[in-house]
Chain A
Amino acid sequence: MEAFNVVIGKVAPMLAANIDTDVIMPKQFLKGIDRKGLDRGVFFDQRFLESGDLNPDFVLNRTAWRGAKFLAVGPNFGCGSSREHAVWGLKQLGIRALIGTTYAGIFYDNCQRNGLLAIELEEEKMSELASLLSSGPVGDVSIDLPTQKISLENNGDIKFDIDPMRKEVLLLGIDAIGSTLMHADTIDKFEHRHLKENPWLC
């Protein structure tokens, strides 16, 4: 998994509530057996016109936000389907972090497993950032995970919280399966007892 330390880039605003994973990655891109080529599918119905050309009005296609590495998102981002393709696609498009207030649970876990930093800000901090972004591009932004802050050119820093375990995994790019298998003996013991106590599970 790609580690996250300090990343600098543009932040594009996508502040509508309840942007679901069907919108982030439509169904026609779910037919693969690998993770390839999903960058094309991200926000497909909004990002492209029927002709196949880029939709010039879509936020990520506008000059100011082209190549953005961060999205400032509305509440409940990533709701709906469990499809991890949504997160794979965002990462392949070059998105490294999301800044919002709340995320749908499955989507949030999928971000964590793929090194996509999903920052949870308090509503007050988020609405300040949202109004700043709505007034126009803010230049490059730095997201510093070790010190837990978002730095805006000329507009100061925003501190964010993250629980220590998630932070460590993201900083080091730790493989979750590898770390869990270090508990293999404990799992064996638990399983042995659990199946003995609930023999119908065998």
Chain B
Amino acid sequence: MKNPKTLYDKLIDSHTVCELDDEGHVLLYVDRQVLNEYTSPQAFSGLREADRRVRRPEASLAVVDHVNSTEAQRISVQPEEGGALQVNFFEKNCKDFGIELFDILDRRQGIEHVVAPEQGFILPGMVIGAGDSHTTTYGALGAFGFGIGTSEIEHLLATQTLIYKKLKKMRVVVSGALGVGVTSKDIIMAVIRNIGASGATGYAIEFCGPTIEALSIEARMTVCNMAVEAGARGAFMAPDEKVFEYLEFKPRTPKGQLWLQAKEKWAQLYSDAEAVFDKEISLGASQIEPMVTWGTSPDQAVNINGCVPNPREETDPIKRKGMERALAYMDLAVGAPIEEIAITHAFIGSCTNARIEDLRQVAAVVRGKKINPDVRGMIVPGSSEVRVQAQLEGLADIFISAGFEWRQSGCSMCLAMNDDVLSPGDRCASSTNRNFEGRQGAGVRTHLMSPAMVAAAAINGHLCDVRTISMEND
């Protein structure tokens, strides 16, 4: 084949308005953008100050998610001043510039990266920018999504383009069958542990292989979502029949003849057989065990059956220092079994793991059981539609009977920008994506893991292997 291309090349080439220099800078056309209330305000103010318009208002979808309360009783007014200011300004901006907004009382409201795919706003082959690092999620649909800062949002709204420098290309091939109790969260956590928190900096990752093909679309989203924790500025998978099935009846997908036409075009979205990647990694799925982070960087992770590692065994001095600091912050002893770490909180939520399939997995673990009396358990569905679905399926009743708080949708304690914040010294098993110092509150210790593993920890009061929990089936 002449000039074989990777999927990344195809996505970028088809969106290149013009080249800007010989160093790989292009003007990149962006099909759609998703906006939230906390990274967009200064972008709108910038447009106003320069008397600029939004070039294509219909290409934007705005969702309130970061600062809103997740209390069961929904109110349009925010519990605190800063959040209220942002929500009100967001509404004004969307109104003034003609952008569609899902506000807090909208039945479609939720975390932007759960809502946008759920509504069919994200389609294969698209380039999407959003003011949130987890925009990589959209790669699971064969789109190219990436996070941008506020200045870039302003640029995008004004021009529908970004000044873009092409990335290097990495392929991650995952083969083999996942063990029982092992999820796509464990796949991506294993990748991050193997290549490090900056292992994919400067790269776009294409995930492929039989294990990826066997995953559901929601499970694939978890993988693409968290690729940014390895530094990837984009992560995607070639769209297949499963993607088309997932999309077909979503509210905003093309219908009728247009759907057939689109599907025909999307079928071309794959890396050519001889396409060359700058880096190739392969992973055996059968080797992957349920993963847990012990430190303050997502790459500081071990198998659930492992022990807290010893920094002295690390030869890289920078890494060793990072491990020592993380152990002090996390208040963990070298060599302690991971399964003995007691928790005070269990949080299930976030754009990484709060979709309906995640909640079904949690329900399978907690059905008929009670969470440990020393643990506060919170479940925050990824979107208001997921919340309704979970109630219809009876999952919410299972969670409530087990002792979990069943809350409204939002980013919540993934980054604790709203009033869902923990106190210094709290230790939280969390289905989220970042275990940084202070992420869930100053002095709070976060352990990342799959939603089912969080559920298991909530029941036992300490981190534990979900595979040892007896599960009742219907």
Q: Give me the interface of A with B, judged by CB distance under 8 Å.
A: 15-18, 20, 22-23, 26-27, 30-35, 45, 74-76, 79-84, 87, 102-106, 109-110, 113-114, 163-165, 176-177, 180-181, 183-184, 186-187, 190-191, 194, 198-201
Contacts and interface: CB of A to CB of B under 8 A. Distances in A.
Interface stretch (B157-165, B178-186, B215-223, B303-311): B157-165
Given A165-B21, A181-B158, A18 B29 contact: no
B50 A177 contact: yes
18 contacts: A31-B38, A31-B67, A31-B81, A34-B45, A75-B198, A75-B318, A82-B132, A84-B42, A84-B151, A105-B231, A163-B21, A183-B27, A187-B160, A194-B15, A198-B262, A200-B253, A200-B259, A201-B126
B161 A180 contact: yes
Contacts of A32: 41, 82, 85-86
Interface in B1-19: 14-15, 17-18
Contacts of B318: 15-17, 74-75
Given A27-B438, A165-B21, A198-B262, 8 more contacts: A17-B322, A20-B434, A34-B41, A75-B198, A76-B201, A82-B39, A83-B149, A183-B17
B145 interface: no
B148 A176 contact: no
A200 B27 CA distance: 22
B436 interface: yes
A75 B322 CA distance: 12
A91 B437 CA distance: 23
Query: Chain B interface: which size bin?
Result: 35 or more
B242 to A, nearest CB: 19
Contacts of B353: none
Nearest to A32: B82
A33 B21 CA distance: 35
Contacts of B159: 177, 180-181, 184, 187
Contacts of B67: 31
Nearest to A107: B149
Given A15-B318, A82-B133, A180-B155, A106 B233 contact: yes
Contacts of B261: 199-200
A103 B24 CA distance: 19
B209 interface: no
B142 to A, nearest CB: 14
Contact of A102 (B132, B163, B201): B201
Closest 9 CB pairs of A and B: A31-B82, A76-B198, A200-B254, A84-B149, A113-B151, A33-B41, A110-B149, A105-B233, A82-B147
A198 B125 contact: yes
B110 interface: no
A111 to B, nearest CB: 9
B289 to A, nearest CB: 24
B453 interface: no
A42 to B, nearest CB: 14
A81 B150 contact: no
Contacts of A31: 38, 67, 81-83, 85-86, 417
A75 B265 CA distance: 41
A176 B163 contact: yes
A45 B442 contact: yes
Contact of A82 (B14, B148, B262, B416): B148
B390 interface: no
Contact of B151 (A79, A80, A110, A164): A110
A191 B14 CA distance: 11
Contacts of A102: 198, 201-202
Contacts of B160: 187, 191
A81 B158 contact: no
A176 B151 contact: yes
A183 B20 CA distance: 10
Contacts of A109: 148-149, 152
